Amino acid sequence: MQNAVKGKDGITRYLVTIKVNGDEYTRIVKANTLLVNFLRDELDLTGTKRGCELGDCGSCTVLLNGKPVDSCLVLAVEADGQEVTTIEGVAGVDGLDKIQEEFIKNGGLQCGYCTPGMIMSAKALLAKNPKPTEKEVREAIAGNLCRCTGYVLIVKSILAASGQEMETYYE
Amino acid sequence: MSLLPEYRDPSKKKEYAVIGKSKPKIDGPEKVTGAAKYCGDLKFPNMLYGKMLTSPYAHAKILSIDTSEAEKIPGVKAVITHKDVPSKKYGISPARWDENCLCIDKVRYVGDKVAAVACVDEETCYKALAAIKVEYEPLPAVLDYRHAGDEGMPNIHEEYPGNINTEIHQEFGDLKKAFEEAYYVRKDVFQGQRAYQSPIEAHCAISMWNGNKLTIYSTTQSTHYFQYYIAREFDLKMGDVRIIKPYIGGGFGGKLEPTGLEFNGAVLAKITGRPVKMFYDRADMFYHNRGRHQGTYELTTAVDKNGKILGVHANFILDGGAYTSLGIATAYYAGALLPLTYEFDNYKFDMYRMYTNLPACGAQRGHGAPQPKYAFESHLDNIARDLGIDPLEIRLVNARKPYTTTVNSFDIQSCELKACLERVAELSDWRKKKKEGMPKNTGIGIATGAFVSGAGYPIYRNDWPDASCMIRMNEDGTSATVYNTTVDLGQGSDTVICQMAAEAMGYRYENMRIISGDTEAGPMDFGAYSSRQTLMSGWAAKRAGEDIKRQVLNMAAAMMGLPPDDLDARDGIIFSKSHHHPTKWQPLTYEEVVSQYCKLYGPLIGKGMYKVHATGGTFKGAAVGTSPAYSFCVQAAEVKVDEETGEIEVLAFYDVHDCGQPINPMLIKGQVHGALYMGMAETYWEEVHFDPKTGVCLNPTLGGYLLPTALDMPKIIKNEIVDSYEIVAPWGVKEVGEGSTNPTMGCFRNAIVDAVGVTINSTPITYEKVWRALKDKKEGKQPAEIKMPPPPANAAVKPY
Amino acid sequence: MYIPDFEYYAPDSLDEACQMLAQFGGRAKVLAGGTDILPKAKTFSPIAPPQTPLPEILVSLKNLEELKKIEYVPGKGVVIGALATHNDLVNSELLNKKYMSISEAAHQMANNQVRNRGTVGGNLINAVPSADLPPILIALNASIKLVSVDGERVLPLEELFLDVCVTCCTEKEILTEVVIPDQKMTGSNYIKFGARRSGALAIAGVAVAVEVENNVIKDARIVAGAVAPTPIRTKKAEDFLKGKEVTAELLEEAGVIASGECKPITDIRGSAEYRTNLVRVLTKRALRKAIDQGHV
């Protein structure tokens, strides 16, 4: 790889440029730097959470070229030249995204730790499928573990963001 | 400002302006944008990262620790062992302090704390830990709690021979007589598994010193208890310890006690003179644990021919793990809460909580109650079946009535358990289903639960108020800030407290702010445990709000030329209750009145506190389980069983709760859904597995420890609350979050029995267990019986 | 959590990648989606060591666009590039049309985020016994291509797997494609049984492909996963079915035979006895579904 330089400690470091939330950031990283740590430590984008660190919980979900991935399973060097969207890139200057609004309105969050990842999964789903069924919503967030809500109000929030009622919801 | 005569309409008087409404969570905008900072998100200038080295052996002598190689690694700033930290034992409950910041002579479980490092980054921490050389002499380990007390077992703590951590023998009434006079007596034995709270956010603590003052940012459920215990450990004045709780990513009981991250982080911060962020990774969390105790539960119950319970003998044994944690309370809770839902006059409770060489167990949602309740609800269904009584009817026959006292001296205030039973029966169409039957392999089960609305006594004995609160108006009256040290773990206490404060003030929720969880900013509150904050901290908030309102009305009275008694406030508007005129006595706004007040007198501050009245009996352990008020709930579940694989599909779930008057119905829904989630998970999936030979955790990951996903939840969830009002509580509130876990396992188990006729007496009820039970049944084999282990050899009393 | 340092290369062509692997020998490993090798390389607390540490060097295939395609090559069959992600399989129109069962099997894997990163090649080469793709691909008689500086070899997929996480792919070779040949099979599918509906490893999984004409089974392939060190074909059950008329009893019997051919272990996810039972049930059900749905 061209943009690599070996440090005094004998460890190679790599120059990477990643477009995050529309802006390009160039940093020097070690090969073992995970995208989640790149975002949190290098860019201070701490909205992306570390949960299980094994791809089981989805707390670190970001969009990589528009698709949700666990940023704890992606090396920063692998994301070189790619586009990443994090939770910080979801709201616009003129206000919250519809999904974010509906999470607040419908009680789709409690401790909030899984929320950024959950919203990223929802964002990707609705971008691809604006009117998902309840089953499709559940499929889309099945990689995002929430310990607080039992998912009911999360599913309701996402359906609401797509302009739909949750048919199984009992008021 | 025009007149708003509807405020004076007497018919509207009972309509609350703020409470009883599903207000959006106050922390919602920060949490949905990623702006909310959790402990692990915080950084301070010059901050180091710290981590603990833990034991690879379940039980071993520490012969030597050599840190020299670790110290040579570039970027390692400090390495500490027991020699560097206070040797004073700590714990969360003074009932027994038995844990050291770092182990001195021996380690007691795989994961026990041995050394700690502070380094320039996380990566270096791991390298440093790997370079510490510890010489151990492995000792035989005690890994099965059922035999921990056997003659000849190795002793885990020298001070506590026979590995008995807690021994309880309580007797109320005349059980012998009840058994003799009974129409029917049945005995069953059940078993529960080790579960773990498994919050998604890992524990973290950032310690820093300024001279002799210690500040710790921590993932804690109680800033006060941390402040108290950290001051105690380091011989500091409480005023020199500041605990700050940033946003917390779930706790469920697992973040109530100090972990060692705080103590060792504070020492490392002192040595290096720099802030130190100590953190757990996922595996550390499973090893630290403090999750649900596993236990064996023997129940013997005497009933008359109508199924009326005459007496109960609960004989339990718990796996406490290597340390006490909150486990003495757990042990008492396990038996103390059983008499809540059903009325009976004779009760005997025997309990041994055993030390083992496994991670310590503590308080997990429903503290001590869910497994015994699962056992009792299963047991009661067995009795009903034996007597040919409908499971709903046997519960109605025995259901607790309001304003009664339990056999173990708990004063029950409001109680709508019967209404809950009837409503669940209606929602689930119980009677029709029972009469007409259900499709093949489907079944329905029912169970009840109850829980404290806050513990009657603090964890360490003290005379401080249980809760206190301060409210300060912004000088121009456009916002009000609540200061307290409650802990919002996600359950929404910040929101509920602000709603209650605003209601009491006659102010607007939308203009409320809250600074909670900083011991230097807010007055003392014991924090988030035992479902206490809505009632206890709610009282303090209500009283602080009323204090503000009193001052505002006094000021407004002077401004309006009316007596204060004639004024009231609502939605931020102060108006006369009696005087109505097109030009005179115009209503004033909070903004106008508060501005005037602050210009004349300076800060406008309200304060309030709450202290639980003395409650409970006088026998040993009488304090555990006392509470100002108890919630009640009933759940029913419909399941479908795949006969060939044992797979269970939950078709529908019903929950009706008596949680007093609701403050925020949407948050109540969320609590019930979450409790169902956890209860369902413990019914079918979740279990922390340990290697039976080594004590190594076999599934310390979220891929191995299975939390349900969005696809695993039931299709239909119907939950409601019944009309209820608790007079001892602010606006009649009671708890909801923990009590909802109590019936869950029992109602699922009973539904499976109803569906396919097999009784599975241990949790988790895995698909494999269901399959095996069905297979045994088909082959005419008796189901494998769970045996009650013998009492520990060293027991003071051996009741059986 | 920590992964020790390693060197990283991202060659621009397959040739270059092969040369690197030849040059580095055993010091290097191929990185595709990383959803398997990265988590396994992570050190948690020192008492939770990595399952499989990384070698000194990772050679990333991320720039090899040509290995990401899924296409039909007349005379050869459906060619799935080794770097196609699981979600590429789920969403491929070609597969949805020709081999729905492969898309469905891919959809049962892990969770959405992992399916967006994990690749077919990675799933095969990591050779985890519970992997969800091998059974259905073997049932459809897939072959694979392994490429190295020494040339390339094509072999039936079932010959790839030697043991738990061990394959016959040498350290110099790169798996580049999976080929599903044109089928006579009339139906196929894969049933996974996990404790949870998403993100759970299979306790057992069975894939079948059948050729049925006039209600008579002309050919059958049955592959079980998670019940032996490698995915296994239950050939006795396959032979038993051939030439017989489809009845409920026949399928039941096939399940019994298949369950006798697996060699499961007992672990925290399930006992050997339970897994054996699952093979019986899943075989029966997968056969029924493959016969009834009438497409592969």
Across chain B, mean pLDDT equals 96
Q: Is residue B541 part of a domain?
A: yes
Distance from C-alpha of B764 to C-alpha of A2, rounded to nearest angstrom: 54
What pLDDT score does A171 carry? Answer: 85
What pLDDT score does B800 carry? Answer: 61
pLDDT digits (tens, 9 = 90+) for B728-787: 999 999 999 999 999 999 999 999 999 999 999 999 999 999 999 999 999 999 888 899
CATH of the domain at B673: 3.30.365.10
C-alpha triplet A93, A95, A100: angle, nearest 5° = 125
Residue B419 corresponds to which tokens in the numbers above? Answer: 């209404």
Omega cis (within 30) before B764 = yes
Query: In chain B, pLDDT over 70 holds for what percent of residues?
Result: 98
* Nearest alpha carbon to residue C268 among B697, B551, B152: B697
Domain residue extents for chain C: 7-60, 67-180, 187-293
Q: At what angle do helices B538-560 and B590-601 cross, to 10 degrees?
A: 80
Q: Chain A residue closest to C63 (CA)?
A: A78
Answer for the pair B107, B134: CB distance below 8 angstroms, yes or no.
no
Contact state of C45 with B56 under an 8 Å Cβ cutoff = no
Smallest CA–CA distance, residue A8 to chain B, in Å, is 13
Contact state of A148 with B37 under an 8 Å Cβ cutoff = no
Cβ neighbours of B330 (radius 10 Å) = 28
Distance from C-alpha of B558 to C-alpha of B599, rounded to nearest angstrom: 14
Contact state of B703 with C199 under an 8 Å Cβ cutoff = yes
Exposed / middle / buried, residue C50 (Cβ in 10 Å: 0-12, 13-18, 19+): middle
* Nearest alpha carbon to residue C72 among C46, C95, C88, C90: C95
The secondary element (H helix, E strand) that includes residue B570 is strand B567-570
Q: Which residues pair with B635 in a beta bridge?
A: B447, B655
What letter represents residue B643's amino acid? E
Instruction: Give residues 201 to 220 of B whose Cβ lies within 8 Å of A.
Output: 201-202
pLDDT tier at B224, thresholds 50, 70, 90: very high
Tell me the CB-side half-sphere exposure of residue B288, using CA atoms within 13 A.
28
Answer for the pair B451, B744: CB distance below 8 angstroms, yes or no.
no
- Measured CA to CA in angstroms, residue A108 lies from A56, A105, A160, B793 at distances of 20, 8, 11, 52
Instruction: Give residues 446 to 505 of B whose Cβ lies within 8 Å of C.
Output: none
Averaged pLDDT for residues B170-177? 97
* β-pairing verdict for B48-54 and B276-279: parallel
Q: Which CATH topology does C67-180 take?
A: 3.30.465
Nearest CB among A54, A105, A111 relative to B248 is that of: A111
Q: Which CATH topology does C187-293 take?
A: Enolase-like; domain 1 (3.30.390)
The residues near B679 (Cβ < 8 Å, ≥ 6 apart) are B370, B740, B741, B742, B743, B744, B745, B748
Exposed / middle / buried, residue C107 (Cβ in 10 Å: 0-12, 13-18, 19+): middle
pLDDT digits (tens, 9 = 90+) for B240-282: 999 999 999 999 999 999 999 999 999 999 999 999 999 999 9
B329, B220: one domain: no
What letter represents residue B515's amino acid? I
Residue B470: pLDDT over 60: yes
Compute the count of residue pairs across chains A and B with CB atoms less than 8 Å apart.
Answer: 183
Residues of chain A short of pLDDT 50, as ranges, are none
Residue C12 corresponds to which tokens in the numbers above? Answer: 């621009």
pLDDT digits (tens, 9 = 90+) for B291-333: 999 999 999 999 999 999 999 999 999 999 999 999 999 999 9
Q: Is B647 part of the contact surface with chain C (CB cutoff 8 Å)?
A: yes
Chain A residues near residue C199 by CB distance under 8 angstroms: 56, 142-143
* Tokens 């005569």 -> residue: B5
Residue C208: phi and psi, rounded to 5, are -135, 155
Answer for the pair A158, A122: CB distance below 8 angstroms, yes or no.
yes
Answer for the pair B660, B725: CB distance below 8 angstroms, yes or no.
yes
Residue B10: pLDDT over 80: no
DSSP assignment of chain C, as one string? -B----EEE--SSHHHHHHHHHHHGGGEEEESS-TTHHHHH-B-STTS--SS---SEEEE-TT-GGGG-EEEETTTEEEEETT-BHHHHHH-HHHHHH-HHHHHHHHTSS-HHHHHH-BHHHHHHH--TT-SHHHHHHHTT-EEEEEETTEEEEEEGGGTEEETTEES--TT-EEEEEEE------EEEEEEE-SSSSS---SEEEEEEEEEETTEEEEEEEEEESSSSS-EE-HHHHHHHTTPBP-HHHHHHHHHHHHHH-----BTTB-HHHHHHHHHHHHHHHHHHHHHH---
Contact state of B703 with C278 under an 8 Å Cβ cutoff = no
Contact state of A145 with B669 under an 8 Å Cβ cutoff = no
Residue B337: pLDDT over 90: yes
What pLDDT score does C191 carry? Answer: 98
- Measured CA to CA in angstroms, residue B415 lies from B419, B421, B457 at distances of 9, 12, 22
* Tokens 């008596």 -> residue: B658
- Measured CA to CA in angstroms, residue B107 lies from B54, B79, B264 at distances of 9, 18, 17
C-alpha triplet C284, C290, C293: angle, nearest 5° = 130
Residue B173 corresponds to which tokens in the numbers above? Answer: 């009434």
What pLDDT score does B715 carry? Answer: 85
Contact state of A142 with B719 under an 8 Å Cβ cutoff = no
Q: Which CATH topology does A4-89 take?
A: Ubiquitin-like (UB roll) (3.10.20)
Residue A145 corresponds to which tokens in the numbers above? Answer: 């573990």
pLDDT digits (tens, 9 = 90+) for B373-407: 999 999 999 999 999 999 999 999 999 999 999 99
Q: Which residues pair with C14 in a beta bridge?
A: none
Exposed / middle / buried, residue B198 (Cβ in 10 Å: 0-12, 13-18, 19+): buried
Q: Chain C residue closest to A125 (CA)?
A: C112
B300, B399: one domain: yes
Residue B30 corresponds to which tokens in the numbers above? Answer: 């920060």
pLDDT tier at B3, thresholds 50, 70, 90: very low
The residues near B11 (Cβ < 8 Å, ≥ 6 apart) are none
What pLDDT score does A2 carry? Answer: 61
* Nearest alpha carbon to residue B216 among B156, B282, B160, B265: B265
B32, B47: one domain: no
Residue C240: phi and psi, rounded to 5, are -60, -35
Residue B88: pLDDT over 70: yes
Instruction: Give residues 709 to 738 of B whose Cβ lies within 8 Å of C.
Output: 709-712
For testing the chain C interface, which of A32, A41, A77, A125 should be mutated: the one with the most C CBs within 10 Å? A32
User: Which chains, if any, share at least 3 CB pairs under 8 A with chain A?
Assistant: B, C
Q: Which residues pair with B321 in a beta bridge?
A: B355
Tell me the CB-side half-sphere exposure of residue B769, using CA atoms within 13 A.
19
Q: Is residue B738 part of a domain?
A: yes
Say how many Å lie between the first and final Cα of chain C, rounded. Answer: 43
Nearest CB among A137, A147, A155 relative to B200 is that of: A147
Averaged pLDDT for residues B621-625? 96
B312, B447: one domain: yes
Chain B residues near residue A100 by CB distance under 8 angstroms: 29, 32-33
Answer for the pair C115, C87: CB distance below 8 angstroms, yes or no.
yes
* Tokens 């109540």 -> residue: B668
DSSP assignment of B178-189, as one string? HHHH-SEEEEEE
Nearest CB among B29, B198, B202 relative to A147 is that of: B198
B630, B602: one domain: no
Chain B residues near residue C198 by CB distance under 8 angstroms: 709-712
Contact state of B702 with A52 under an 8 Å Cβ cutoff = yes
The residues near B227 (Cβ < 8 Å, ≥ 6 apart) are B238, B241, B242, B243, B519
Residue B51 corresponds to which tokens in the numbers above? Answer: 């981590």
SS3 content of chain B, % helix, strand, coil (to 5): 30, 25, 45
Residue B2: pLDDT over 80: no
Contact state of B706 with C196 under an 8 Å Cβ cutoff = yes
Q: Is C197 part of the contact surface with chain A (CB cutoff 8 Å)?
A: yes
The residues near C22 (Cβ < 8 Å, ≥ 6 apart) are C148, C149, C172
At the top level of CATH, the class of A98-161 is: mainly alpha
* Nearest alpha carbon to residue B540 among B626, B487, B629, B471: B471
B313, B335: one domain: yes
Q: Is A11 part of the contact surface with chain B (CB cutoff 8 Å)?
A: no
The residues near B321 (Cβ < 8 Å, ≥ 6 apart) are B109, B289, B327, B355, B356, B358, B359, B360, B361
Residue B11: pLDDT over 80: no
Residues of chain C short of pLDDT 50, as ranges, are none
The residues near C97 (Cβ < 8 Å, ≥ 6 apart) are none
Residue A88, phi-psi category: left (phi > 0), alpha (psi -120 to 50), beta (remainder):
alpha
- The complex scores an ipTM of 0.98
Distance from C-alpha of C205 to C-alpha of C223, rounded to nearest angstrom: 8
Contact state of C2 with B283 under an 8 Å Cβ cutoff = no
pLDDT tier at B4, thresholds 50, 70, 90: very low
Q: Which domain holds residue B61?
A: 42-139+204-248+255-285
Chain A residues near residue C2 by CB distance under 8 angstroms: 32
pLDDT digits (tens, 9 = 90+) for B476-486: 999 999 999 99
Domain count for chain B: 3
* Nearest alpha carbon to residue B65 among B113, B135, B141, B155: B135
B533, B560: one domain: yes
- The dotted CATH code for C7-60 is 3.30.43.10
What's the full length of chain A, in residues? 171
Q: Chain B residue closest to C268 (CA)?
A: B689
- Measured CA to CA in angstroms, residue B777 lies from B190, B290, B760, C273 at distances of 19, 37, 12, 16
